[in-house]
A and B are shown apart, each in its own frame.
Chain A
Amino acid sequence: MLRSRKELDAELDGAARAWLDEALAEAAHAATEDVTAEASPYASPPWELRYAAAGRHCGPAHADSVRSLLLIEARAPLSSVTRLYEQGTAAERRAVLLTLHRLALDSTALPLVEDALRANDTRLVAAAVGPYAAAHLDPHAWRHAVLKCLFTGVPLTAVARLDERARGDAELARMLSDFAAERTAAGRDVPADLRTALTLTEIAPAAPTEES
């Protein structure tokens, strides 16, 4: 669960708080700068180095929250978000995914979500199906994301707006039923989450949706 600045201030010790203050100030500075050209393809603004080091200065448990705050404070543009994701550790990638919906990116960062959904690292899959995916994934990709969660054991509680998007989705219902049949044929348990999702698809949509 991501923590707010206020919650972090209460939990971090003095040194970590001071480090966070400086890091956020650097990020805020970057937000006001118009960076049009870079000296080297490998150069990066100072706050991005802070982004990498967040875990050891603020503790691994707070790394997601600190990285998320940095992205927001820097009003990270697509170029930064993409670079941080592509050159990031799994933990750094996760923080990008968890923050996409709080940045002014529209649907431009979808390739990052699609990349994470191709991964087999369940930490990335779980982070990819948050509010940003709920808002921007097309129906086909979204259904496959739900199925991938079931397949890799990511709890469906990770899927943002599941009830809303699953409602009345006959194609998702078919995919879930086929998956359940495949599991049953193999003599394996059907995940309890699958039944939950299937039930959601049976609820009639409240109003016509763009998918119908």
Chain B
Amino acid sequence: MRIFDPHIHMTSRTTDDYQAMYDAGVRALVEPSFWLGQPRTSPASFFDYFDALLGWEPFRASQYGIAHHCTLALNPKEANDPRCTPVLDALPRYLVKDSVVAVGEIGYDSMTPAEDHALAAQLQLAADHGLPALVHTPHRDKLAGLHRTIDVIRESNLPPEFVLLDHLNETTVKAATDSGCWAGFSIYPDTKMDEDRMVTILRNHGTEKILVNSAADWGKSDPLKTRKVADAMLKAGCPEDDVDQVLWRNPVAFYGQSGRLHLDTPAPDALHEGNSILRGGE
């Protein structure tokens, strides 16, 4: 089984996670830039983070046979902090990098005027760079936030097929799919969505333009949720081809619109010698 996790924050995960993900079938992932839990106080702090997503983290992933790409943006929460907003001016320089496959995560957190500005500006940046956008839907006041998000997307120069609306659930799936955007579902241990609810949504809405991710980060989360959804789908009688579509072909098709996906990562065995993650050529 081949799995593409279209949304996972590997910076916050260990090498054990990389190994377990590889063993579960994960061969590619996209790491969106996001909030780190601790507020940043300057654009330079973002730049070091972006550099890590373009340098060290792909190297770590490659040691475990996993292709790493990223999405870069000023996240919705920190779009409200004037110390951080100059990041918007520097983004064009980062969006031309080879492994950047979308602008993201963008969207709403508390639906403020500053978030309106950052969302519209970054949808325009995506359009300017021929990139898709990963748009997070807010954790609070989700349905209202989704409607407002879709309105802003409609007013933008980015076509809906270049937009992935993420963190959806039963209450937001219809509005999201009606908009013509791609629909992403984050499967968490206790919150947001679980595997069985996901299977029901796939039964009701089909497998087209639907993506499933673990969104694993520094919080309580599980980097193997993609595999667990695949297993739940098979257990519920879904054909293997549907599993492949949702967990591989759909993310490849969505992020492939960037023209920057490279999925031919060598097997990890070939790299074990010289593996500096293993602290000295173990």
Residues of chain A at the chain B interface (Cβ within 8 Å):
40, 42, 44, 49, 52-53, 55-56, 60, 63, 87-93, 119-123, 125, 150-155, 188, 191
Contact = CB atoms under 8 A, between A and B. Distances in A.
Interface of B: 47, 51, 54-56, 58-59, 89-90, 92-94, 96-99, 259-260, 262, 273-277, 280-282
B136 to A, nearest CB: 24
B93 A42 contact: yes
A85 to B, nearest CB: 11
A33 B274 CA distance: 43
**Main SS at interface, chain A:** helix
Contacts of A63: 98
10 contacts: A89-B54, A89-B98, A89-B99, A90-B55, A90-B56, A122-B275, A153-B273, A153-B275, A153-B281, A188-B282
Given A63-B98, A121-B56, A152 B93 contact: no
Contacts of A119: 56
Nearest to B259: A56
B98 A151 contact: no
A191 B47 CA distance: 37
Contact of B280 (A42, A152, A154): A152
Contacts of A90: 54-56, 58-59
Contacts of A151: 276, 280-281
Nearest to B87: A42
B273 A123 contact: no
B276 A153 contact: yes
B226 to A, nearest CB: 26
A89 B276 contact: no
B155 to A, nearest CB: 26
Given A89-B54, A89-B55, A90-B54, A120 B276 contact: yes
Contacts of A188: 282
Contact of B274 (A44, A56, A152): A152
Q: Most chain-A Cβ atoms within 10 A of its Cβ — which of B58, B99, B273, B276?
A: B276
A63 B274 CA distance: 23
B89 A87 contact: no
B171 to A, nearest CB: 39
B239 to A, nearest CB: 35
B274 to A, nearest CB: 3
Nearest to A186: B280
Contacts of B47: 87
* 7 cross-chain pairs, A with B, having the tightest CB-CB distances, nearest first: A153-B274, A89-B54, A90-B55, A153-B281, A152-B276, A55-B98, A120-B276
Contacts of B58: 90
Contacts of A152: 274, 276, 280-281
B59 A87 contact: no
